[in-house]
Structure 1
């Protein structure tokens, strides 16, 4: 550790701050007990922040551990004798047992239910303590608790500060230990953590118990500070004190509870000396502060003074090795004659909706087996039954001959079933390196320690670097995953799936959202993996599927309609009709001709000049000029990471411009909020659709509708399929139907300009045709900017195209010219054409 790292270590600053406060209080001749109380409550808040910040659980009633352990400490020293050190030790054991018992029950719920259950437990404890007078002393509490070893307030103060700093050091080590990293992964994405083999319930239970121990120790210290214990710490009036301190100081910062405790206790002490109704003064101050700085005191100071960012963990990764060992499967070769996965009569229904009908299915080792089918065929539901996310209504799932039908997701992962998800599933607030490292750790039992530094485990680190290098993300290892472009996130998810050394890889549309060059790389990687693994793939890229698959099964309306070698399946008439959506004569309608010149001559609608924008101080857009005419369709193209989605975010105002100007019909938009820009006529159809899952199709549209937008009848004319699904909830729609609703939602607002981010992502060819035909009908009526990685799909239907390279416009001009110039496409976009595509994927 460098000298700078030592000097900026948050635990050192905890000691310095508490030491400085102690010196100041002694110099002023003030009672040192107030600083002792600050130290105790800082530890109380830190224990609560272990749940909130690291685990994602919000306890409204952590006071149940604080108050109950306070009573336990008094009982131990009064009933058993001895001294305060022994009583503190027994109190921590009591807190651990109490936390384990309560957690085993209430952790079966999460979110608001969990929070309310903790509050209910605290209130029950308060009622018992307040009314069981013969045992607890009732409202008078238990007084006269001795402190034989530390009778002097100063001696006890030194002990408290020393142990508080020590526990804070242990919490910092825990946060960076393998177990602490798992807590953060569960916080970010519990389903993904379970898919790697982590038992999320047990992980949370251990974290909850550790919180109980830390909070309980703080409560026991308060007993010896007051030399008594009272029921008021358990009541609902004080149940939220620690939560308030943590939020006030900064819930996403390790030192937040310290600053919150200092502020809360000092203000309480001073304001209560002025008036009994001190909350009438304190509460408005708290509200004002929350509005000014949601990140708390720590965040405000860092923002104002641009000082070192003390977040919940250090922002470093292990050093990159000079030579990264190439990735190779850690598995022994499987017997190719024995099936690794079988399903027998698998059925799934949601009420009257049947999504799987008596599916008999077999996967063999060293085989790339692909499942294809139109949107809504039940492919992802089938994957969810195979991996334990959804229970089947009937039938069996066998893995290596063993019945795993009723095993949970994490147990199947430990057996060797690894999966990716149709909708990206990573740990967004962890670094790219940590995403992979925590996945590698999942299968290594000795790597889940509580206090060893996770980044000191050389074998795990080396494996993580190998996986990142295999998918081309080694150079982005230190980046926060949420800041990656979509294609890089997809590559990261594949690396995470590979990390657990699965025998069977279940990949749900791993090529969705990737640029062409990346698609070739990933397809080649999947093909290579199938030589040492069994690979079960869901994918809509039919050309690539035919090129790389060993076997293909076609799922349609919940049943297997074809199964066999790729060429045989491709020629199957039922497959052509069901999957490709061909007409009975086998012909597919071509898109209408584009009246490009007329649209280019229309008045300018949107004008962006010199746009500069980025994230966390780094620039992604480096002076982009963009013009869109009324009724014009424009494609925004480029490799992953060049700034396409960033451009859309800048145009909608969700990402502020660092420089440049933005105008709509001559009206300046720069500096306006996203909703203000939307009200002026710019709407975004986001990647991932982002519908309200519990609302129906009609309710999603009615929520967005405003005067001037198209009517529901016009929506159903544009998308006939939605008329038959108008009463269905969004969560039960297929990917194509969701995309239709997302586009329709932008039209009912109303909109002058629609920004579409990857509108064809993850859609079957038949559904792509439906969406494309709708966009062609809209051309000339509403302006569109379409971000799409399939250039061959979007160029025929747009008027002009922009190509971004490294955050700058490298091409701006007629879409027909770019469509015809394959060499220019290859140079700017990394596109592989024709036979070269098949050869590269083989």
Structure 2
């Protein structure tokens, strides 16, 4: 081991700190048992931190293993083996067996339920220990436990420090082993870890069992230190001690439990000597750390040294090879003449909502097969069924001739199906290299090896470098993912998806939120990957889909309506109707007649200048300019994913803008909070309505009503249905009635501008007509911005229109002009391939 790495090794610092404390306490003439207790509790806290810091599970009742192992050690020495070393081994085995049984039960639950279940088991153990007097000694415990191998407290102290250092060395090696590295992936993103081929339930069970073994050893040491055992360590009053020490020291730092144990035990010892109400002094210290240094004592020291980072593992990555081997696809042996994936009659419904209806599909190797469709078509639901996230209600999925319909996600990944996610899904607290390496490990090594260094697996490291080089991220391998720009994160997600030796790549909106330069890079990579894999792509950038794809499948309302070459699909009448709307079809609602007025002389109400906005480093809107005048009705149009809803979120303050400026009625709202913007007069009618389901229609309106808004009588005149249903709970309303209630709720506020997000979505034609008529009656009284997917539905009732393409305004002008220009509509909104990225049309 090199000297620098030796000096930064935390195990060396554990040994140095415990040795220094031992020397100091001896020099002061203080009882060495206090330092012994610190060492024991440092190991106790480190065991708990194996779950919290590394696996992401929070056990409120880890004391069940600490306390029960203490009793097991006492029983073993007194009645079974009569030897301390054998008793320690038996206590560890007992704890691990108990954890295995408990884990099979409680790991079926997550989050708070898992935490409470551990606490419940601890409290049950306390009740048994406290009241089963004939066996446990009850309140008096078991006293006089012999310790024949250690003639003095100092001898036992030296043994304890040595064994605690050895225990922490084991944990340090464990977290750098293949198993330990996967724990961190599960902590960061369990679904993503499962999609790579890891059985996350068994991994969590393994970490839970190992935690119990470490804690059980610490509990047995405490019995030997005290030469007795008592029930109070199992009680709820002490159940949180290890958790408190870990958080106080720093839950994201390997040495955190050591600093926490020192602070907790020394402060408890000193403060309890001053007053029996020592918690009144200690609690404010904990509160101060929680508020001022959430990363605990270790994090505070790092902040002072300006070196803030998690130190749960070493920061280094394996050395980059001088020559990185070219990436080779695992799909190269696949028969190109046979479908790699076949879907027959696949259906999925959520109650009465059908999201997939008898879908038949075949995916061929070495082809880019894209799936497109309007919002709510069922595209992501299909992906979720193909990868095992959702079970289908009926139908079959066959991969390479094998029926995989009932297989879990991790089993499908092991067969060669890999996916990316609509919302960026990587491991944010791992490095770029480790993201890819842990994915490669899933197929080529699994989790075997508890103390072998994962970075010594040369074949896995070399494969990881090959994949990083293939996507252009080799130079950023050592970067934490949090430091990457959004485009690089998308490339990393594709790299992680490739790393599982996949034969079929499922990419869910990989271009979402990317700037144009990044779109070109990622699109070129996807096209290149399709030459060596089967690629199934969901994407809203229709122009690129048509340009890149070998085959396109179109879904609409859960049905497959077209499947074939891009040119054929692009001219399909049913596809055109799905994208541009079918307002003129039989049964569709005819728009009410309106008289448009010239609004150019009206006072500008909302002014948006050069606004850019995105999510988590992504770029959704770029250089957006928008004007809405008093009393004007404006349509905001565009294909899926171009930034329409993002625009409304920015206007209402629920999404902070990156640059640019917004003003409303002369007031700058660029940095205003949502409630401040609402009080100025902007109200949102959100997609999905979002009423309070357990309140009646009237109660929903009463909560929103403020002086200056429409009266209840006025909104009931606008929506007569609501008057009859005013005492009905919102959850019992039909979709149309909910939409009416959502609009009414915006009107009872003093609104100058109403933003309506997809107000006609999912409504029957008769209800669409009723809502349209209400909006027409509001024209001129209040300004409106209507986001709508189908242009033909909304253009007849608005004054002006904006069309977004990839986050920019591609058209701005009179609604009547766009309504009559069907070629322009098709170019901007339909399924046709644009010759070039549209420039703004006025």
Hey, what does 1:818 align to over in structure 2?
none
Distance 2:529 2:454 in 1: 28
Say which SS state the counterpart of residue 395 (structure 2) adopts.
strand
Distance 2:695 2:419 in 1: 30
Distance 2:812 2:180 in 1: 48
**1:373–1:554 Cα contact (<8 Å) kept:** yes
What's the TM-score once normalised by structure 2's chain length? 0.76
Deviations 1:769-818 (A, max 9, x none): 6499999999999xx99998544647889xxxxxxxxxxxxxxxxxxxxx
Hey, what does 2:163 align to over in structure 1?
163
Say which SS state the counterpart of residue 496 (structure 2) adopts.
helix
Hey, what does 1:100 align to over in structure 2?
100
CA apart distance, 1:662: 12
CA apart distance, 1:208: 0.6
User: Closer, same or farther in 2 for the Cα pair 1:654/1:348, shift >3 Å?
Assistant: closer
Return 5+ residue gaps in structure 1 as ranges. Answer: 636-644, 718-725, 734-740, 757-766, 798-832
Hey, what does 1:422 align to over in structure 2?
422
Hey, what does 2:451 align to over in structure 1?
451
Hey, what does 2:206 align to over in structure 1?
206
Say which SS state the counterpart of residue 443 (structure 2) adopts.
coil
**2:11–2:165 Cα contact (<8 Å) kept:** yes
Distance 1:92 1:499 in 2: 37
Hey, what does 2:536 align to over in structure 1?
536
Hey, what does 1:407 align to over in structure 2?
407
Hey, what does 1:247 align to over in structure 2?
247
Distance 2:224 2:352 in 1: 63
Hey, what does 2:81 align to over in structure 1?
81
Distance 1:5 1:388 in 2: 43
**1:755–1:785 Cα contact (<8 Å) kept:** no
Deviations 1:593-645 (A, max 9, x none): 9x99999x97998999xx9xxx9xx9x9xxx9x99999999x9xxxxxxxxx9
User: Closer, same or farther in 2 for the Cα pair 1:194/1:463, shift >3 Å?
Assistant: same
**2:42–2:257 Cα contact (<8 Å) kept:** yes
Hey, what does 1:823 align to over in structure 2?
none
Matches within 5 A, 1:315-394: 315-394=315-394
Moved more, 512-521 or 100-109: 512-521
Q: Is 1:272 aligned to residue 269 of structure 2?
A: no
Q: Once superposed, what is the RMSD of the aligned Cα atoms?
A: 5.5
User: Closer, same or farther in 2 for the Cα pair 1:334/1:604, shift >3 Å?
Assistant: closer
User: Closer, same or farther in 2 for the Cα pair 1:373/1:755, shift >3 Å?
Assistant: closer
Hey, what does 2:577 align to over in structure 1?
577
Q: Is 1:17 aligned to residue 17 of structure 2?
A: yes
Q: Is 1:189 aligned to residue 189 of structure 2?
A: yes
Deviations 1:20-53 (A, max 9, x none): 2111111110000011101111111111111011
CA apart distance, 1:455: 2.8
User: Closer, same or farther in 2 for the Cα pair 1:295/1:749, shift >3 Å?
Assistant: farther
Hey, what does 1:180 align to over in structure 2?
180
Deviations 1:262-301 (A, max 9, x none): 1111121122222223223322332233223222222223
What's the TM-score once normalised by structure 1's chain length? 0.76
Return 5+ residue gaps in structure 2 as ranges. Answer: 586-590, 637-645, 719-727, 736-740, 757-785, 815-832
Say which SS state the counterpart of residue 442 (structure 1) adopts.
helix
CA apart distance, 1:130: 1.6
Distance 2:249 2:689 in 1: 33
Distance 2:351 2:661 in 1: 53
Distance 1:18 1:674 in 2: 53
Matched positions, count: 769
Q: Is 1:227 aligned to residue 227 of structure 2?
A: yes
Hey, what does 2:56 align to over in structure 1?
56
**1:652–1:682 Cα contact (<8 Å) kept:** no
Moved more, 34-43 or 362-371: 362-371
Deviations 1:40-71 (A, max 9, x none): 11111111111011111110100011011111
**2:683–2:755 Cα contact (<8 Å) kept:** yes
CA apart distance, 1:663: 11
User: Closer, same or farther in 2 for the Cα pair 1:668/1:568, shift >3 Å?
Assistant: closer
Hey, what does 1:135 align to over in structure 2?
135
Q: Is 1:567 aligned to residue 552 of structure 2?
A: no
User: Closer, same or farther in 2 for the Cα pair 1:431/1:692, shift >3 Å?
Assistant: farther
User: Closer, same or farther in 2 for the Cα pair 1:310/1:356, shift >3 Å?
Assistant: closer
Moved more, 169-178 or 201-210: 169-178
Distance 2:433 2:498 in 1: 14
User: Closer, same or farther in 2 for the Cα pair 1:402/1:431, shift >3 Å?
Assistant: same
CA apart distance, 1:433: 2.1
Say which SS state the counterpart of residue 338 (structure 2) adopts.
coil
Say which one has the larger Rg: 2
User: Closer, same or farther in 2 for the Cα pair 1:654/1:7, shift >3 Å?
Assistant: farther
Say which SS state the counterpart of residue 537 (structure 2) adopts.
strand
Moved more, 49-58 or 158-167: 158-167
Distance 1:438 1:749 in 2: 53
Moved more, 4-13 or 26-35: 4-13
Say which SS state the counterpart of residue 173 (structure 1) adopts.
helix
Distance 1:484 1:689 in 2: 33
Matches within 5 A, 1:523-672: 523-581=523-581
Distance 1:603 1:692 in 2: 27
Say which SS state the counterpart of residue 303 (structure 2) adopts.
helix
**1:45–1:261 Cα contact (<8 Å) kept:** yes
Distance 1:750 1:320 in 2: 63
CA apart distance, 1:386: 1.3
